[in-house]
Amino acid sequence: MSVPTSYDNTPEITPELVAAHGLKPDEYEKIVSLLGGRNAPTLTELGIFSAMWNEHCSYKSSKKWLRTLPTTGPRVIQGPGENAGVVDIGDGQAIVFKMESHNHPSFIEPYQGAATGVGGILRDVFTMGARPVAAMNALRFGDPKHEKTRHLVSGVVAGVGGYGNSFGVPTVGGEVEFDERYNGNILVNAFAAGLADTDKIFYSKAEGVGLPVVYLGAKTGRDGVGGATMASAEFGDDIEQKRPTVQVGDPFTEKRLLEACLELMATGAVIAIQDMGAAGLTCSAVEMGAKGDLGIELDLDKVPVREEHMTPYEMMLSESQERMLMVLHPEKEAVARAVFEKWELDFATVGITTDDLRFRVKWQGQEVANLPIKDLGDAAPEYDRPWVRPTPAKPLDPNDIPQKDVADALLALVGTPALSSRRWVYEQYDTWIQGNSLQRPGGDAGVIRVDGHATKALAFTSDVTPRYCEADPYEGGKQAVAEAWRNLTAVGAEPIAATDNLNFGNPERPEIMGQLVEAVRGIGEACRALDFPIVSGNVSLYNETNGRGILPTPTIGGVGLIPDWNRTARIGFAAPDECILLVGAPDWWGTHLGQSIYLRDLFGRKDGPPPPVDLGHERKAGDLVRILIRDGHATAVHDLSDGGLAVGLAEMAMASGIGATVNQLAGGDPIPQYFGEDQGRYLVTIKRDFLDSFYDQIYPYAGLFAPWIGTTGGTALKLGDARPLLVADLKAAHESWFPSYMAGEIAA
């Protein structure tokens, strides 16, 4: 949006100016009614309302439904509503984590958009007093054949790696997917987790009147002005004009900011702290004041700036990175200043807390904004938007299953954009820094040691299957949670809590709002059934370009606790001559082909419902697998998802270099057996001398089917009657697509 160069704080507020700020006519009328007799807001006030009432900051379309999610549990210290969620992991320690989107900026300017997404989520974590220990990212791009896709992949991956590597946090997991529905709106969801002492958690609620409001960190510039409003609107043909709304990050300043904040927190000077993220100074000041039932008065003449002649509008709406706002104990202000000066960061007292519930902004001796603070924050608009339940897909006709040689199908699938190795991506990230990484990207979940503890470890995963969510958002929401829960379980972790990043199209379209409602309903049901509360998250809507929306993509970031990292599991076969169990299998081992990778990527079909998720079954299967891992009986574990049994076996073989021979069930179609995507299944290997004990002592009490389906060994993978495939050939196909594509050697 354009702002006059010679600052006029009281221009005529036209319908066009209101619309340019992302506000509807009825919202503007409500703004006028809150002004206390004035006929119109100032330009600064209009900008402040725009920042606070947009979708990105206010969640005005989703608040009603987010309240239905389970957010509490015996381990939960802090649920949604703060910078990040906080969960107790014992021994006086907590894990602090959140996932957030930076979709729109990353599409406009992929390197800086992705980099500042990483920077923002790291600040959310250390704002709470936690030292970041792990990062993930969930990335979704358009069709590989699309003209922009390769450029976007290159820029985003470089931005994620450039910022995270420089800051010094290991990237331990994530996702990279391709689909034409993301051609006009890629998704960049960033996750961070940090460790803190349970008695040293810091919050954003301001407390006390007449206390200093202090600006900390980097200087304010014009980058990112209007960023939150831009992120709450559809894209059109003018997308390149939005480049100035993208922030610019500096990871080295962020690292200094981290150390300065943690040092300052140790002095006891901090009463409240808030990251300056979306909507910058506006959002951080308003949220701190509103949460504490206090007013805030700011003096913009004291704000450190790096550009000349900045207007109040620009200072209030800038999203310049690496900045914090704090309320401090006045007697410790000098101590706090000394800490930040030592780290060569700006420290400026820019305001004061008041008792009048007003948000006042002063500049050059004049009051440029005076607004009711609660109406900006806690009382922002909330909509119950109309929605329609999506039409369920028709079941697949069992006589309409396209046939392909099992070996040929598997070899083709492991080399597709959907299932090929992501090594090209994660090898650009530092996965070892801090020295605590136990499992790097490429398995079911990343695992790190808890520094300073003899045995404790944490597991992290990010999951969603968008094609399932479009076919049935309710089942797709359940499946996203269940898959995250399974991936944590597969490494031996107890899933303890989750964060969500709900990415959808325009909520003003009833069919899109219906996707959101049903997905949240499915997520909530699964979280309750699996004791897996949502403790933080983010909603990203209006992911559309010229009216074409993304696939509904409610991403789930999961965290699990491992009491003894000596008792974990990996996906690679451990040794030859071990028994392969299919825990949680249906009678035919695999049955469900609706919305499968097999149909989509080999035959171009996107029909049928997604596989249903039986949450009771998920619980039983996961608990059994976790027991086998923690008792030291499971030598390798992998949950089954995209591509079914065949792809799961291939991934275990490729991870180890060890082949396997798997049985063929007689009298039926091998395609659903090997490529069905039935949920709640794990491949588990055990030593042969434990097989009888398993079936005699454990299996009778499991309450589910867990057949012995094959044996590890050799250099080839043989699936029933299909010809053997050398593990080396599978791996060559699996590893080649991504580097060849990024080198421009193939179109897709």
**Burial class of residue 742 in the structure, from the number of CB atoms within 10 Å of its CB (0-12 exposed, 13-18 middle, 19+ buried):** middle
Alpha-carbon torsion 398, 399, 404, 406, what sign?
A: positive
**CA dihedral defined by 506, 507, 513, 515, rounded to 10 degrees?**
40
Q: Name every residue whose Cβ is closer than 8 Å to that of residue 580 and which is 6 or more positions away in sequence.
A: 649, 660, 662, 683, 684, 685, 708, 709, 710, 711, 712
Tokens 């996961």 -> residue: 622
**Burial class of residue 452 in the structure, from the number of CB atoms within 10 Å of its CB (0-12 exposed, 13-18 middle, 19+ buried):** exposed
The closest of 320, 75, 107, 365 to 222, measured between CA atoms, is 320
- Residue 698 CA to its chain's centroid (Å): 37
Query: 447 has which bridge partners?
Result: 439, 459
Contact 253, 338 (CB under 8 A): no
Phi, psi of 200 (to 5 degrees): -135, 45
Q: What string of H, E and C letters represents the secondary structure of 477-538? A: HHHHHHHHHHHHHHCCCEEEEEEEEEECCCCCCHHHHHHHHHHHHHHHHHHHHCCCCEEEEE
Contact 407, 146 (CB under 8 A): no
21, 102, 617, 638: the catalytic one is: 102
Interatomic CA distance for residues 197 and 91, integer angstroms: 9
Contact 121, 191 (CB under 8 A): yes
CA atoms within 13 A on the CB side of 490: 33
Cα radius of gyration rounded to whole Å, the chain? 26
Contact 590, 678 (CB under 8 A): yes
Two tokens, residue 271: 């009463």
**Burial class of residue 588 in the structure, from the number of CB atoms within 10 Å of its CB (0-12 exposed, 13-18 middle, 19+ buried):** middle
The closest of 98, 66, 61, 78 to 524, measured between CA atoms, is 66
Interatomic CA distance for residues 169 and 626, integer angstroms: 28
The closest of 451, 432, 515 to 477, measured between CA atoms, is 515
The answer to whether residue 21 is catalytic is no
Phi, psi of 201 (to 5 degrees): -90, 135
For β-strands 534-540 and 494-503, DSSP reports them as parallel
The closest of 641, 612, 622 to 684, measured between CA atoms, is 622
The answer to whether residue 453 is catalytic is no
Contact 612, 603 (CB under 8 A): no
Interatomic CA distance for residues 688 and 698, integer angstroms: 15
Interatomic CA distance for residues 28 and 32, integer angstroms: 6
Furthest CA-CA distance within the chain:
86
56, 617, 638, 734: the catalytic one is: 56
Contact 230, 242 (CB under 8 A): yes
The gap between the terminal CA atoms of the chain, to the nearest Å, is: 37
Interatomic CA distance for residues 265 and 636, integer angstroms: 43
Contact 87, 198 (CB under 8 A): no
The closest of 87, 164, 182 to 559, measured between CA atoms, is 87
DSSP secondary structure of 99-135:
EEE-HHHHHHSHHHHHHHHHHHHHHHHHTTTPEEEEE
Interatomic CA distance for residues 82 and 325, integer angstroms: 14
Q: 3-state class of 286 per DSSP?
A: helix
Hey, which residues are catalytic here? 56, 102
